Amino acid sequence: MKIRFIYPRFRKFLEGHPELDELVRRHLVGNYTMPPSLAIPILASLTDSRHEMLLTDDNIGQPVDYGEDVDLVAVSFFTPQASRAYEIADGFRAAGKTVVLGGIHPSLRPHEAREHADAVCVGEGEGVWRRILADAERGMLEPIYTPDKTYNLADAPIPRRDIFSDNDYHWDAHLVMTTRGCPVRCEGCPVPEKEGTKVRLRPIDDIIEDIRGMPYKEFYFTDDTVMLPGKKYQNYLLKIMERTAELDIRIFLASTMMMIPSPEFYRRLHAGGAVSMYTVFGFDRNSRRLLSDECTRREWREAIDLVRMNEDAGIHFFASFGIGFDEHNERTADRILKFAGDAGIDCAEFYIPAPFPGTPFGIAAENQGRILHRDYRLWNTGNVVFRPRGFSPDQLQQTFFYLWKEFYRDKEPQETLKSFTLNKHE
Ligand code: SF4
């Protein structure tokens, strides 16, 4: 078969906000793009070589050819890509092509996705992709494909990232999968719903083989579950970092504020190549409390200590602050700026929560009738798409602008993104 994979375009979250254009140009924040999710490279690696595989990366403007002679169109997407994904799927189906949709958004809203597709893959694609291909070849696709068991990461193939290899991104940190699943159930996170509440660890030998096979120097571990408190996860991450220490690479990690309070831990991460800690505020209970009116002086101090442990170990702390959660009010923005100042944070982004499907926040917003619209192009955390509690929608949007402008007002660009080696295209 001739298979055309499509990675639909999504708006970067500061796109469409002329108020922030000058800041974005000066600091390069919010407009960098990074290599795409691993979903398509993973499916490509599971596709028999007798099939011909092609890719359209709509994000970098590759044209979508609806008239192309292809046997199967496979579109993978997350929520900010969903409106464009449906537009593309509808275009191919109108031209008589067979379309399969998969990824995090269709997995969590399969019936919506089904209206635009011949088949929808729900959950992890690895367990059903070969069955989808066999059924597509026989012309007998089922409407919904759901894996019948949890995927064992020991079986995970090395993703075929070369399918995207000619593409040009602003930031070249290549994604590496380490774990799947999470028991924590943070308010804004779909991982437990999509991947299950049991953490699965990818074999460390496979992670190292994956990294060694790439001709790059920068890697982004996609799963903040490696930062979960608990000896088991701590040791797993440290074992990975002992191995990466031999590779002369730079690693970007992600976490919430549920990090481990141990300076030695961060020193060992840095020795393994960790240079940046992207930390989301607003998902986990610790950061929610920190930015609420209930936060104690001790909690404030402990949170600052966590930031400093990273920085002192040589890991640049990159904060991602959410504004607009239910306990937030007109004082929250200044509280965020105060915390950033007190902790010496010099690199930050600000986002407006979106009621993503499968997240506790999204489920509650939907049940409470607070979703304003489903134009998913605007569900990119740069726009208000739900009715907030502590603000009017316009107040929240203006507060978002205020945070960006205030934080970057006295910052120098060479400081803010010092841990990134950005490709300079502009
Ligand atoms: S944000 Fe991280 S810790 Fe929280 S549920 Fe998601 S994966 Fe788990």
Residue 222 has pLDDT above 90, yes or no: no
Ligand 1: which of 177, 225, 259, 359 to mutate, most ligand atoms within 8 Å of CB?
A: 225
Q: What does the pLDDT read at residue 22?
A: 80
Ligand 1: which of 179, 197, 253, 284 to mutate, most ligand atoms within 8 Å of CB?
A: 284
DSSP letter for 291, please: T
pLDDT band at 13 (very low <50, low <70, confident <90, very high): confident
Pocket lining for ligand 1, CB < 6 angstroms = 182, 184-186, 189, 191-192, 224-225, 256, 283-284
Residue 172 has pLDDT above 80, yes or no: no
Best CA proximity match to 332, nearest among 283, 287, 276: 287
Residue 417 has pLDDT above 80, yes or no: no
Best CA proximity match to 219, nearest among 147, 166, 302, 161: 161
CB 320 within 8 A of CB 279: yes
CB 170 within 8 A of CB 31: yes
Task: Report the separation in Å between the CA atom of 270 and the middle of ligand 1, taken as the mean of its atom positions.
Answer: 22
Q: Which residue has the higher pLDDT, 419 or 231?
A: 231
Residue 420 has pLDDT above 70, yes or no: no
Residues contacting residue 110 through CB under 8 Å, at least 6 positions apart: 120, 122, 144
Task: Report the separation in Å between the CA atom of 192 and the middle of ligand 1, taken as the mean of its atom positions.
Answer: 7
Residues contacting residue 391 through CB under 8 Å, at least 6 positions apart: 324, 328, 329, 330, 399
Ligand 1: which of 177, 180, 184, 259 to mutate, most ligand atoms within 8 Å of CB?
A: 184
Task: Report the separation in Å between the CA atom of 186 and the middle of ligand 1, taken as the mean of its atom positions.
Answer: 5
* Atom 2 (ligand 1) nearest CA: 224
Ligand 1: which of 180, 191, 226, 363 to mutate, most ligand atoms within 8 Å of CB?
A: 191
Kindly report the pTM of this predicted structure: 0.92
Residues contacting residue 49 through CB under 8 Å, at least 6 positions apart: none
In whole angstroms, what is the distance from residue 36 CA to residue 56 CA?
12
pLDDT band at 128 (very low <50, low <70, confident <90, very high): very high
In whole angstroms, what is the distance from residue 139 CA to residue 157 CA?
27
Task: Report the separation in Å between the CA atom of 123 and the middle of ligand 1, taken as the mean of its atom positions.
Answer: 17
Residue 283 has pLDDT above 50, yes or no: yes
What confidence tens digit (pLDDT) does each residue in 66-115 have? 999 999 999 999 999 999 999 999 999 999 999 999 999 999 999 999 99
Q: What does the pLDDT read at residue 206?
A: 97
Q: Which atom of ligand 1 is nearest to the CA of 283?
A: 1
Q: Which residue has the higher pLDDT, 389 or 227?
A: 389
Give phi and psi for 179, each to the nearest 5.
-135, 170
What confidence tens digit (pLDDT) does each residue in 294-321 have? 999 999 999 999 999 999 999 999 999 9
Q: Which helix (H) or strand (E) holds 74?
A: strand 72-76
pLDDT band at 26 (very low <50, low <70, confident <90, very high): confident
49 class by beta-carbon count within 10 Å (0-12 exposed, 13-18 middle, 19+ buried)? exposed
Task: Report the separation in Å between the CA atom of 287 and the middle of ligand 1, taken as the mean of its atom positions.
Answer: 12
Residue reference for tokens 């993703």: 159
Residue 63 has pLDDT above 90, yes or no: yes
Q: Which helix (H) or strand (E) holds 180?
A: strand 179-180
The full set of domains in the chain, from first to last, is 2-145 (3.40.50.280), 171-416 (3.20.20.70)
Task: Report the separation in Å between the CA atom of 184 and the middle of ligand 1, taken as the mean of its atom positions.
Answer: 6
**In this structure, are strands 200-201 and 179-180 parallel, antiparallel, or unpaired?**
antiparallel
Residue 252 has pLDDT above 90, yes or no: yes
Task: Report the separation in Å between the CA atom of 187 and the middle of ligand 1, taken as the mean of its atom positions.
Answer: 9
Task: Report the separation in Å between the CA atom of 280 and the middle of ligand 1, taken as the mean of its atom positions.
Answer: 10
Q: Which atom of ligand 1 is nearest to the CA of 188?
A: 1
In whole angstroms, what is the distance from residue 47 CA to residue 305 CA?
47
Residue 242 tokens, joined: 């002992």
Q: What does the pLDDT read at residue 327?
A: 93
CB 419 within 8 A of CB 310: no
Residue 223 has pLDDT above 50, yes or no: yes
Q: What percent of the chain has pLDDT over 70?
A: 93
In whole angstroms, what is the distance from residue 340 CA to residue 242 CA?
31
pLDDT band at 28 (very low <50, low <70, confident <90, very high): low
Q: Return left, alpha or beta for 19; rule: phi > 0 is left, psi -120 to 50 is alpha, else beta.
A: alpha
* Atom 4 (ligand 1) nearest CA: 186
Q: What does the pLDDT read at residue 225?
A: 83
Task: Report the separation in Å between the CA atom of 228 and the middle of ligand 1, taken as the mean of its atom positions.
Answer: 8
Residue 31 has pLDDT above 80, yes or no: no
CB 244 within 8 A of CB 209: no
What confidence tens digit (pLDDT) does each residue in 140-171 have? 999 999 999 999 999 999 999 888 865 555 45
Residue 36 has pLDDT above 90, yes or no: no
Averaged pLDDT for residues 10-33: 76
CB 222 within 8 A of CB 173: no
Q: Which atom of ligand 1 is nearest to the CA of 255?
A: 2
Task: Report the separation in Å between the CA atom of 331 and the middle of ligand 1, taken as the mean of its atom positions.
Answer: 26
